[in-house]
Every structure is written in structure tokens, then in C-alpha cells.
Amino acid sequence: MDPKKIKICYLSSVLTVHDYRFLAELAKRNFDVYLVTYFDGEIPGDIRSLDKVTIIHRRPKYFHRIQKYLFAAKAADFRGILKRIRPDILQGGWVWKDGFLAALSGFHPFLLMPWGSDILEHTRSTKRWPLSRLVWPVCRWIVKYTIKRADRVVCDCEKVKDRVMELAGYPEDKVDIFRWGIDLDKFKLGDGVSEIRREAGWESNKVLISTRLFYGEYEIERLIEALPLIIESEPSVRVILAGEGPEEDRLRRMVKDKNLEGFVRFVGKIPNPEMPDYLNAADIYVSSTGTDGTSISLLEAFACGLPAVASEASGQVSGNNEWIQDGVNGFLALAKDTEKFSENTEKFAEKIITLLRNPDMRKKMGDRNLQIAKDRANWRKNFNELERTYIRLAEDYRE
């Protein structure tokens, strides 16, 4: 079937760089794409610039802070939109938000695409958020309801796939794996002296970088907690924190309270086209989140030839395990655990110190990661399989 004859309703009210990448690629492949969004704000400029994507923006007029939870209130309006545009496929993303709204619409075929933490993190009770013991059963029910009403589910890693089947008893033959990948023309090994290092006066320093957003689930504070131990062993270490989010003030206070202001630079959220410059300014990529699907941030670091130190949840397999072989192309460290916080933080620091002390190891791991990115993380090559999923789904429901 010709993609030009397939109309896709892409439902998302988050609108991150990942949405842009999906929309841009679908439009490039000549699908007839409609973005329907209840985004509380102006449409990001990169998405607005996609002239082959029709945008239907239902910006909330009331209850702005809680509108993302008012699924039932949006359902009638969304059904009306679907009747007008008559898509061949409805795609919903974040499972307990837009995915749930897609499920409430009753439209078929419905393609569900979890984003990772909506399946791995938000369906489990956590000690980090006291109210989670009350909220998580509701969230879990919403996720199960949504999965069961999907005609096909596309996951970014085996761990998310396993969780989807575990939560809802969803049949394995209706789940596809699509490892997102990155633009290898953009993310690649740099050459020459980094201007970012030069401007910071860090030409002779060893630099760690974290590019995760400042949200609770990414546990940036764990890196800050480990930093005094790292500095004690390697005084020349410096840290770039590239991100933004509601935890930023707290993280800045932690850095100040621990007298780390001379060691850490908050550079804000870096536009995606500029991210390769920052990754190429670093020696080691660090991710301290305990729960992950396939992390695009990790793959971007791989493509820039960086070794990685990343977390894995105790007793679970995170998406990081599918990309990092401990001691071969990076290190895996147990995620933050309230009962073993000091012990796990020390081990996390030790992994980073090991890499800082071994330039040959960093080079070998970085070279392996560069090859992994070329072999397994090519966005355009990987998207070919997802394109076949769209075509098969459209064909099945036209028969």
C-alpha cells in the first residue's frame, strides 16, 4: 500500500523533540499526517514548521494545571475530530495520558506506542512519592485498560514489551519492537578542540555529561550525591548538566550546599541540533535514572563515541541492559535505593572513577559504542520496520 493513501492521526499532548522526529519522518515518507494535540501552550516551532503535517490544536481554556488528567472531558471532542478527519490509523503515545484518550475514543485500528516510564515507572508504587501508593493503582488500571483496547503495541525495548504483556495479558504476536534510533548524520564523533571546553576553561579537565531532564524519575541528584566521592579521587573532574525541569531549583541548592559550584555547570535544555557539540565536549556520559526504556540520550552519546555509566533497577532489567554490556562498552550500576543509598552511591561513584582513571578503557568503550550506534541505532533504517507496521495495520482494517 502506498503511504500517501494512509492517513494517520497522531495524538500527543506532550510535544517533545521525539514527537517532532516521528512527525517529520512520517511526513517525509508521504503519509497523510494529522497531529491532534491538547498541548497547554504554543506549538513548538520545529513542529509548527512541518508543512506536510496538519495540526489540530485544542489548547485548554480552563484548569490548565490539571487538564492533562481530564481524559473523559476530552473524549467527546476527540471523537468529533476523528469523525471529521476519518484516519486509517490512530496512534496514541504516553499510555495513561494520550493513550488513554485514544482508547476512550473507541476508534480502530488503534496503535499504542508507550514511551518507557509510563509503563515501567508509573505503574509501580514508589517510596519517592508518598501519594503514589494511592495514585498508582488508578494509573495501573488506566494503563491496563488502554493496552487491552489497542490493536497493536509498538515498544522501544524488550523490557517495555515484557511489562506490556505482564500488565494486561497482551498477546506477544501483537507487539512489535521498534528501537527508535538517532540521526547519525547529526550525532557523530567530533574533531578538534571543543569550543565548549575552551570557553569553560576545561581543556585539561575530565568532563562528565548528563543530558536527562530535571524530573524526579531521572534522579539527577544521585550524580550530585556521588560527586564529592568522585572529586576526592579525581579533582580535575567537571560536570555538565544539560536539562531543565521542576527539579532544577532543588538540584542547584544541592550543588551549592555541597560546595560544588566550581565543578558543575547548568547549561539549560540544549536544542537538539546543538547537542552533539556538548556530547563531544565530554569524556563520559552518565545517566542515573533507575528506570529506562531505550534512552535516546544514551544512543546520542554512543554516536558521539562516549563510554557510559548508567543505572539499572534492582531486581529488574531496564532498557539500558539491552545497550550496555557491563565492563565492555560501559558500566551498569544499581539504581538509587532508599535502604542502600550510601552503598549504591559509592558503587556508582566507583564505576565513574574507574573510567576517569583509564583513558584507554574510555577509548575502547567509546569506539564500541560508536559501532553499536551505526549498527543498531540508525533512525532511518530502523523506521523502515515501523513503516511496514503502519502499512500492515492499515491493510488489515481495510479488508
Q: Is 334 helix (H, G, I), strand (E, B) or coil?
A: strand
Residue 187 within any structural domain of the chain: no
Residue 52 within any structural domain of the chain: yes
Residue 11 within any structural domain of the chain: yes
pLDDT band at 144 (very low <50, low <70, confident <90, very high): very high
Residue 189 within any structural domain of the chain: no
Handedness of CA 233, 208, 241, 196 (dihedral sign): positive
Helical pair 296-303 and 359-376, crossing angle rounded to 10 deg: 110
Q: Are residues 158 and 233 in the same domain?
A: no
Q: Are residues 208 and 175 in the same domain?
A: no
Contact yes or no for 178/135 (Cβ under 8 A):
no
Q: Are residues 365 and 390 in the same domain?
A: no
Q: Are residues 348 and 317 in the same domain?
A: yes
Domain that holds residue 368: 195-376
Average pLDDT, the chain: 89
Q: Are residues 338 and 362 in the same domain?
A: yes
Residue 238 within any structural domain of the chain: yes
Q: Name which of 131, 113, 158 is nearest 216 in CA terms.
A: 131
Residue 190 within any structural domain of the chain: no
**Residue 164 CB neighbours (<10 A):** 25
Q: Are residues 177 and 247 in the same domain?
A: no
Q: Are residues 113 and 207 in the same domain?
A: no
* 253-265 pLDDT, tens digit each: 999 999 999 999 9
Percent of the chain with pLDDT over 70: 90
Q: Are residues 26 and 175 in the same domain?
A: yes
pLDDT band at 338 (very low <50, low <70, confident <90, very high): very low
Q: How many domains does the chain have?
A: 2
Residue 188 within any structural domain of the chain: no
Q: Are residues 248 and 269 in the same domain?
A: yes
Q: Are residues 199 and 338 in the same domain?
A: yes
CA 385/CA 388 separation, integer angstroms:
5
Segment among 35-44, 114-123, 183-192 with least mean pLDDT: 114-123
Contact yes or no for 312/320 (Cβ under 8 A):
yes
Q: Are residues 355 and 307 in the same domain?
A: yes
The CATH number of the domain where 20 resides is what?
3.40.50.2000
Q: Are residues 342 and 386 in the same domain?
A: no
Angle, CA 48 vertex, CA 47 and CA 51 arms, to 5°: 95
Residue 253 within any structural domain of the chain: yes
The Cβ-side half-sphere exposure at 346, using a 13 Å CA radius, reads: 4
- Asked if residue 124 has pLDDT above 80, the reply is no
pTM attached to this predicted model: 0.84
* 173-217 pLDDT, tens digit each: 999 999 889 999 999 998 877 899 999 999 999 999 999 999 887
**C-alpha to C-alpha distances, 282 to 63, 190, 196, 204, 211, nearest whole angstrom:** 42, 11, 9, 12, 11
